[in-house]
Structure 1
C-alpha cells in the first residue's frame, strides 16, 4: 500500500508556507497602504521635497522626462516611496528592480529594452550593481542606447539598440560606494536625513487615520520618540500598538497602551531593541567598555558582523551610546548610565 503519511506531511508543509506567505503579503500590503501617493502627502524631508518638486514641475512644463534622480540615506526614510511618487506625479509607470538582482549586463539590457517612453526605472541598492551592468547603465542613462554583443571572441560584434527616454531613480544606503562615473550621471541627488520627533508624530497620526484607529497625542509622541528617527519603524510600532490595544486593551491607542505594547516588543524609551541592548551590554559587561573589535563583539551577541555594523551600530553611534575608534568599539558614559551600570575605575577608553 502507498505510504499516505508523506503526502499528508507535504500538504501540511504547503499549507504552512501558504499561511506564512499570506502573513508576509498582508504585512507588506499594510505597509504599502500607508505610503503617501503625492509629494504633498509626503511628510518630512522639506529640502529634498522642494528640490524634487522643482525638478518634476519643470519637466512636466517642458513635456519631457526629468533628469535621472539619485536618493541616498539610511533605510526606512522614504527612498522607495519617493520613487513611486515621482512616477505618480509624472503619470507614468514605475519599473522596479534592485542592484543584487542584476548580476549580468544582459539582465539590465533586458529590463532597459522593455521600457516604454517616459517610464521610471527604480533601482534599489544601486551601489550593489555588478560592474558589467554598471558600465552598461552609463551609456543607457547618457545616450539612451545599449550595445548588444552578438557572438564570442574575435567574431563578436556590438549592435547598438536605441532606448526610449526614461528616468532612472537610484536608491542607495551607502552613497560612498557608488563610483564617480555613475554618480555624475544623475542630474539630481537628494540625501534623506533621519526624522525629528515632530515629523514622526505627523507620520504616525496620518497612518493611524488610514488604519482607522483612534490614537491619542500622547501615544503618538511615545511611538515617535522610540522610532529611531525612521518612518518605517514608526509605522511598524504603530501597528504593534494597535494589535496590543485590540487584543489586551480597549481598542484605543492611548499612552498606557503604547507603553505596554512597546514593553512587550522590547523597545525601550530610547528606541533600543533587543539587539541594541545585547551589543551594549556585552560591550560593558564582557569587555569593560572596550575597545573591542567588531567581529569579537558580533560573536559575543550571536550575530553576523555585518548585522551589527549595519543594523545596530549607526543608531547607537548617532545617539552617543557607542564610539568607533581605530582600536575598536567603545562604550560612552551615556551607555553605562542607560544600562544602569557603573563604569570601571581604570577605564582607559576615549571616554573616561
Structure 2
C-alpha cells in the first residue's frame, strides 16, 4: 500500500472567530444545570403528594423486607414527571436504571437481550409502554411474574425453547394513554400511579427551584406569572423559565421581575391563559371561521395548516381542560369562555353562557 503522509494544517482564524460566542465549557455547564433541574429524591420532588406518599410506602416496605419492589405503572399526560419518577425510584433503591421505550421494542429478542443484562434489583424503565409490539409484550408477562423468559432457537419443527432465568428486577412503565394498555399487562403491575396536573402554587415552587439551580434571580410574582401560563405542566414551566431568562439577559440585567416575565411571554406568544399561537389559531378558525361550531377536527386542521393529529393531540386537550372547547357528536364547539378570550361577544345559547 502506498504510504499516506499526514499533513497538518494550521489555519489562522480571524480574531473575531477565534473564540466561540459561547465556549464549550459554558455550553457543557449549561447542559449540566438543565439536567440538574430533575429532582433526585422523593423529598426533592415537588407536587403529586398522593403519588409521592404511596410510592414512599411501596419502596419503604420493600426495603425493610429486603425484597425487590412491585412493578410500577405511571400514567398521565406528558411533562408531569414520569421519567423523573422512574429515576427517583432507582435512586431511592440504590440500584441502576436501564431506560428504553415501547416503540424501540419491536421484537421479543430485543426485550430478551435487555432483560438478560439486568442485575438483581435493577430498575427497567419503559416509556410509552402501551406502544410495545405484541411479541415483546407477551414475553414481558412471564418476565414480570416469574422472572423468566423462554427464548426460541431455530425455526419450524426443529425450533427449541430455552428457559432463561432472570435476576429479580422492578419494571417501571410510563404511559400517556393508559386506556391503550392491554388487560394482562395492566394486571401485572403491583402499583399504579396516576399523575395529575400541577396547581399554580406547586408550579411556582418548581420555577423558583429551577431558577435557583440555573443561577437566575427571579421575583416571586414573576415566578407565579410563569407558573400560571404553564398549563399545569412542570416541563412547560421550566421551558418558559429558560426563555424568560434569555429575554432578561438580552434586554435587562439578567434578573427577572414581573414586567420582564410578562414582556418575554408576550414575545414568545404565550398569553395569560397559557395559550400559544396554534391554540389561538384553532380558536380563531372555530369562532371567526365557523361561527363557533360544531366543526370537525379535519376541517380545523386544514384551516390552521396542521395535521389533524396535531390539533387533536397537542391543542385540543388543553383547550377542553381550560373550558374553551367542547367535544360533541357533531364536532368541536367553542364555549363562551373562548369567545370572551378572543375579545368577542358570544351568541345567545353558547355553552357556558351562564358563567358570564
Match of 1:147 among 145, 150, 163: 150
Q: How far apart in 1 are the matches of 2:298 and 2:244?
A: 35
1:66-103: CA deviations, max 9, x gaps?
00000000000000000000000000010000011111
Offset of residue 25 of structure 1? 8.6
1:216-260: CA deviations, max 9, x gaps?
011011001000000010011111111111111121110011001
Which SS does the other structure have where 2:218 is aligned? coil
Establish whether residue 32 from structure 1 lines up as the match of residue 35 from structure 2.
yes
- Contact kept in structure 2, 1:218 and 1:255, CA below 8 Å: yes
Offset of residue 142 of structure 1? 0.5
- Contact kept in structure 2, 1:288 and 1:344, CA below 8 Å: no
Counterpart for residue 329 of structure 1: 332
Establish whether residue 157 from structure 1 lines up as the match of residue 123 from structure 2.
no
Counterpart for residue 8 of structure 2: none
Counterpart for residue 229 of structure 2: 226
- Contact kept in structure 2, 1:147 and 1:159, CA below 8 Å: yes
Q: How far apart in 2 are the matches of 1:245 and 1:112?
A: 48
Establish whether residue 99 from structure 1 lines up as the match of residue 128 from structure 2.
no
Task: Map 1:202-281 to 2 at 5 A.
Answer: 202-281=205-284
Establish whether residue 287 from structure 1 lines up as the match of residue 283 from structure 2.
no
- Contact kept in structure 1, 2:336 and 2:351, CA below 8 Å: no
Offset of residue 106 of structure 1? 1.0
- Contact kept in structure 1, 2:243 and 2:264, CA below 8 Å: yes
Give unpaired runs (5+ residues) of structure 1.
1-21
Establish whether residue 87 from structure 1 lines up as the match of residue 95 from structure 2.
no
Q: How far apart in 2 are the matches of 1:63 and 1:30?
A: 35
Q: How far apart in 2 are the matches of 1:306 and 1:25?
A: 36
Q: Give the aligned CA root-mean-square deviation in angstroms.
A: 1.9
Cα distance change of structure 1 residues 243 and 344 upon mapping to structure 2, 3 Å threshold: same
Q: How far apart in 2 are the matches of 1:305 and 1:30?
A: 37
Q: How far apart in 2 are the matches of 1:31 and 1:235?
A: 9
Moved more, 283-292 or 165-174: 283-292
Match of 1:55 among 58, 64, 77: 58
- Contact kept in structure 2, 1:31 and 1:235, CA below 8 Å: no
Cα distance change of structure 1 residues 329 and 120 upon mapping to structure 2, 3 Å threshold: same
1:19-66: CA deviations, max 9, x gaps?
xxx999988655422000000000000000000000111111111110
Establish whether residue 176 from structure 1 lines up as the match of residue 179 from structure 2.
yes
Q: How far apart in 2 are the matches of 1:311 and 1:30?
A: 28
- Contact kept in structure 1, 2:222 and 2:256, CA below 8 Å: yes
**Deviation beyond 4 Å, 4+ runs, structure 1:** 22-30, 349-352
Establish whether residue 112 from structure 1 lines up as the match of residue 128 from structure 2.
no
Give unpaired runs (5+ residues) of structure 2.
1-23
Cα distance change of structure 1 residues 24 and 71 upon mapping to structure 2, 3 Å threshold: farther
Q: How far apart in 1 are the matches of 2:218 and 2:297?
A: 41
Cα distance change of structure 1 residues 266 and 27 upon mapping to structure 2, 3 Å threshold: farther
Taking structure 2 as the reference length, the TM-score comes to 0.89
Establish whether residue 125 from structure 1 lines up as the match of residue 125 from structure 2.
no
- Contact kept in structure 1, 2:334 and 2:351, CA below 8 Å: no
Establish whether residue 309 from structure 1 lines up as the match of residue 277 from structure 2.
no
Q: How far apart in 2 are the matches of 1:136 and 1:77?
A: 29
Offset of residue 283 of structure 1? 0.7
Cα distance change of structure 1 residues 195 and 294 upon mapping to structure 2, 3 Å threshold: same
1:289-310: CA deviations, max 9, x gaps?
1111111111211111111111
**How many pairs align?**
330
- Contact kept in structure 2, 1:290 and 1:331, CA below 8 Å: yes
